[in-house]
Structure 1
């Protein structure tokens, strides 16, 4: 799946690296757990109020390509081919980014930049899955704190599968991986935004052209339920309290300024707008 749209003068393309299909969609209770601050009863009541009767989360992998004045960039790269980390049943359903990039008329060598919202494997492995750079002409960008975290001894306590892709991305890009700060224009029309908490250097990316804006939020939220319950955390939020503060700040900004939002894990293409809903928020899907 891939879909084109324009943002001002920027040509954009959402490419799905894949998404689980029933019966392989992950249960909601694996994302919103008592240990991450979501009691089982609270989750059941929230799903009941939603009125859909669903018990799973879609967990799409939506990679956003942008034709910038400096060349073609992609924000996050999917899981890559031959991925067995979540079980062999998932492997055929993901790892489709490069083939769909070709379907859209590009090659892997056309990419001049890879922007990582963070270095979890489902965002970075697509760039390095073969042991060689998937995008041989590309320069990479990740927040300074993100690069420091995965190369620090603190990260060594995490499971090998969780840190392997991050370390491989850092190794393979080498000097072509540029650590960046928040609030800087890393490419023409692309600016970094503080979204830390999910990981130490988790980064949102603001695209702006001719007065039109899109906020790419990475893993600031996984499911529309988190907009109704912005205090909900997941087991993958490394700094739980900061992740909640970041999520609420980003949702408030998106709602108050009517930003177009790209959400990596929401159902393809992951585009929508955020509206206020009482003291929380709700998601409204936008189709290109």
Structure 2
């Protein structure tokens, strides 16, 4: 699945690495749990009969003055961590790039919002000459988190090793490529980074895993088991949503249904998602 669009003078495309359909959509109750502050009764009432989450893996390709950059790289081919039945549903990014007229080996840069496996595995062997970009705090955390189980830490270390000296550690507030800026979105992981595309007065804010489902806009305090710093993730989410709503900044959300593009509107003290640009 490919969706072409522009941001000012930037030619962009959302390219899906995969999106499970029913009956393979994951349960909402795995994302929003009592342990993360979402009682079952509250989730049931808010979901209004919906029991699953449509979890897309929406990568963005953008033509910059320094070459094509890919923002997050999906799970890649051959991933079996969600079970063998789901393995064929992932790993579509390389084919999508080719269909869009972009060879993966010609990609100039891969920009990671963070180093969880569903954002990095697709880049391990697909981009042999590309530069990588990840926040310095993100790289440092995974290198130093020796107390974590290897199964959690290994994907990040594999990505760091795969890029080697082609991996640039960045900070917030940088223009890392022409028209490509880093924005503080920490909390989900220590160096979680939103990416702002800006050209000729137009913008797109790529928020990574700042939220997984529109329910988190209506309930911005809801957290997930994968948030490293729960309180900071809530603060970041509220700040980014308020910015997008108040300045009408279009948003790309990595895990929303393809293509994950939309606008944020204020809804009392919370927010609402409006698909489409």
Superposed pair shares fold, TM > 0.5: yes
Query: By how many angstroms is 1:137 displaced?
Result: 1.7
Task: Give, in angstroms, the shift of residue 20 of structure 1.
Answer: 1.1
Aligned to 1:15: 15
Paired residues in the alignment total 277
Q: Name the CA distance, whole Å, in 1 between partners of 2:100 and 2:42.
A: 43
Kindly state the Cα deviation for residue 86 of structure 1 after the two structures are TM-superposed: 1.2
After superposition, residues 80-229 of structure 1 pair within 5 angstroms as: 80-128=76-124, 133-152=125-144, 155-229=145-219
**Which one of 242, 252, 255 corresponds to residue 265 of structure 1?**
255
Q: Distance in 2 between matches of 1:97 and 1:104?
A: 10
1:105 deviates by: 1.0
Q: 1:79 aligns with which of 67, 75, 81?
A: 75
Matched residue SS, 2:157: helix
Distance 1:165 1:11 in 2: 30
Match of 2:108, SS state, is: strand
CA distance in 2, matches of 1:285, 1:171: 37
Check whether the contact 1:146–1:200 (CA below 8 A) recurs between aligned residues. Answer: yes
* 1:49-68 mapped onto 2 (5 Å cutoff): 53-68=49-64
Q: CA deviation at 1:165?
A: 1.6
SS at match of 1:4: strand
Measured after TM superposition, the shift of residue 54 of structure 1 is 1.7
Deviation by residue 1:162-187 (Cα, 9 ceiling, x = unmatched)? 22221011111111000000001000
User: RMSD in angstroms over aligned alpha carbons?
Assistant: 0.9
Q: Structure 1 residue 110: deviation in Å?
A: 1.5
CA distance in 2, matches of 1:270, 1:185: 23
Aligned to 1:105, the other structure's residue is in SS state coil
Q: Deviations over 1:176-224 (max 9, x none)?
A: 0000000010000011000000000000000000000000000000000
| Cα separation, 1, equivalents of 2:151 and 2:22 | 24
Other-structure match for 2:40 = 40
Which whole-Å CA distance do the structure 1 matches of 2:190 and 2:206 have between them? Answer: 17
- Which residue number in structure 2 is paired with residue 255 of structure 1? 245
Q: Normalization by structure 2: what TM-score? A: 0.98
Question: TM-score with structure 1 length normalisation?
Answer: 0.95
How far apart are 1:160 and its partner, in Å?
2.8
Q: In the alignment, does 2:6 pair up with 1:6?
A: yes
* 1:123-180 deviation line (CA, Å, top 9, x unaligned): 011001xxxx31112000000000000000xx33333332222101111111100000
Which segments of 5 or more consecutive residues in structure 1 lack a partner in the other structure?
A: none
**Do the aligned partners of 1:25 and 1:58 also contact (CA within 8 Å) in 2?**
yes
Structure 1's 28 and 265: CA in aligned 2 closer, same or farther, altered over 3 A? same
Q: CA shift at 1:261, angstroms?
A: 0.2
Are 2:236 and 1:240 equivalent residues in the alignment?
Answer: no
Cα pair 1:85 1:161 within 8 Å, conserved: no
